[in-house]
């Protein structure tokens, strides 16, 4: 039996989504194969071992009795230190379900690497690239993967009018405005005119010092899940049918606000193209384990355009990643097992590399 640290919560606007993901992953993990140790991270960054995991994911970490816990920075004995050195819990693998900054951006992945602890999904560099939309899109452009037109502005919260002028000079309405380092559609606005654009830029700068503005593809939105390490596999493709004008936070996490059609009603040529680009995007950022890749099928032209990759996709019962794999023949429990297996495989391969000259 493996002792698995299920790490959830985090210092992010996506904290609440992570609680739901953690609850769903815990239900999917086979109790005959894993001893699950829940590790909650508060919005202030405190690491806690909740006395009641169900209460922590339902009522919040701060409302649940818990003990402080810390990751041992010792790769010779990966584990968790409970309280004031009361005991050490040896850990075989970490399963982070942290979304957004300080969880999906390479920071906690670096901590796991330092501690010598295997962990699911992508490593430090891939996580950072997948979280930062500017870096991600630059890598996709270098790999000649098709994307919508976009521009990035940095540190210009005090020059919103100048940003609006620049956008209007390069793109046409409507446009999407997003914080560069945020997921779950937090802070995203579809702007149809100058007034909406100005408000959207101001909002995005509240979440990040970098803001990306993208052209509207004006077509359909589809998603594909990827699983693997060196030889990734692509799932069937699903189409997002949001209840709102676009796939915003409310659509993603409110029951009945969106529909997800699996398989997507697209022809074989579009299916093959989406799956091909999904695998290439995964490999371009050197992702590992699993990821969800989002696309547009452009209105009018029918071109497949790559939107973004999510290296720790949502794992709720409403989330696309587990639904796409279930439709591909891999149920949630099997998906959780496969993510752990891939984590252990990648860790073993890294451990085999030399760290000395001789």
Task: Break the chain into its structural domains and give their ranges.
Answer: 2-119, 138-144+218-348, 149-215
- The crossing angle, in degrees rounded to 10, of helices 332-351 and 320-327 is 100
Question: How does the average pLDDT of the chain come out, rounded?
Answer: 93
What local confidence, expressed as pLDDT, does residue 115 receive? 96
Query: Burial, 189: exposed, middle or buried (Cβ in 10 Å; 0-12, 13-18, 19+)?
Result: buried
- State pLDDT tens for residues 187-203: 799 999 999 999 999 99
- State pLDDT tens for residues 96-155: 999 988 999 999 999 999 999 999 999 999 999 999 999 999 999 999 999 999 999 999
Both structure tokens of 240: 């997002």
Assigned CATH topology for domain 149-215: Dna Ligase; domain 1 (3.30.1490)
The backbone torsions φ and ψ at residue 136, rounded to the nearest 5 degrees and listed phi first, read -60, -50
Share of the chain above pLDDT 90, in %: 85
Residue 232 has pLDDT above 90, yes or no: yes
What local confidence, expressed as pLDDT, does residue 243 receive? 65
Instruction: Please give the angle made by the CA atoms of 11, 180 and 275, to the nearest 5 degrees.
Output: 105
Measured CA to CA, the distance from residue 104 to residue 183 in angstroms comes to 9
Strand partners, 15: none
Assigned CATH topology for domain 2-119: Rossmann fold (3.40.50)
What local confidence, expressed as pLDDT, does residue 327 receive? 98
- State pLDDT tens for residues 248-282: 545 544 555 578 999 999 999 999 999 999 999 99
* Mean pLDDT computed over 219-238: 97
Q: In sequence order, which residues have a C-beta less than 8 Å from that of residue 14 and are 6 or more positions away?
A: 99, 100, 182, 183, 184, 186
What local confidence, expressed as pLDDT, does residue 185 receive? 63
The backbone torsions φ and ψ at residue 30, rounded to the nearest 5 degrees and listed phi first, read -70, 115
pLDDT band (50, 70, 90) for residue 247: very low
Strand partners, 70: 81
Both structure tokens of 130: 């997948």
Instruction: Please give the angle made by the CA atoms of 80, 84 and 86, to the nearest 5 degrees.
Output: 65
Least-confidence region, from 15-24, 242-251, 277-286, 291-300: 242-251
CATH superfamily name and code, 138-144+218-348 = ATP-grasp fold, B domain (3.30.470.20)
* Mean pLDDT computed over 307-323: 94
């Amino acid at each position: 039996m493996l002792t698995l640290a299920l790490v959830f919560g985090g210092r992010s606007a996506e904290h609440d989504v992570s609680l739901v993901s953690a609850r769903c992953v815990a239900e999917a993990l086979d109790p005959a194969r894993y001893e699950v140790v829940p590790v909650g991270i508060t919005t202030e960054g405190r690491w806690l071992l909740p006395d009641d995991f169900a209460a922590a994911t339902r009522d919040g970490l701060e409302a649940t009795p818990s003990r402080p816990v810390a990751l041992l920075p010792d790769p010779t004995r990966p584990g968790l230190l409970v309280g004031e050195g009361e005991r050490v819990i040896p850990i075989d693998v970490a399963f982070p379900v942290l979304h957004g900054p300080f969880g999906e951006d390479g920071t906690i992945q670096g901590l796991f690497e330092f501690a010598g602890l295997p962990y699911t999904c992508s490593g430090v560099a891939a996580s950072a690239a997948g979280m930062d939309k500017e870096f991600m899109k630059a890598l996709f452009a270098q790999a000649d993967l098709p994307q919508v037109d976009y521009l990035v502005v940095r540190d210009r919260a005090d020059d919103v009018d100048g940003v609006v002028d620049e956008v209007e000079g390069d793109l046409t309405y409507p446009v999407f405005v997003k914080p560069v380092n945020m997921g779950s559609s937090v802070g995203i606005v579809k702007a149809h005119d100058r007034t909406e654009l100005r408000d959207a830029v101001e909002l995005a700068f509240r979440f990040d010092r970098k803001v990306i503005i993208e052209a509207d593809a004006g077509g359909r939105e589809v998603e594909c899940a990827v699983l693997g390490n060196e030889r990734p596999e692509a799932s069937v493709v699903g189409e997002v049918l949001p209840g709102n004008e676009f796939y915003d936070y409310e659509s993603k996490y409110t029951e009945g606000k969106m529909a997800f059609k699996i398989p997507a009603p697209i022809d074989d040529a579009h299916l093959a193209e989406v799956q091909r680009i999904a695998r290439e995007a995964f490999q371009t950022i050197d992702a590992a384990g699993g990821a969800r890749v989002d696309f547009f099928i452009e209105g009018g032209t029918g071109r497949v355009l790559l939107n973004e990759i999510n290296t720790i996709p949502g794992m709720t019962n409403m989330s696309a990643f587990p639904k796409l794999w279930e439709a591909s023949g891999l149920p949630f429990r099997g998906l959780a097992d496969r993510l752990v297996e891939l984590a252990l495989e990648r860790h073993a391969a890294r451990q085999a590399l030399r760290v000395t000259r001789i």
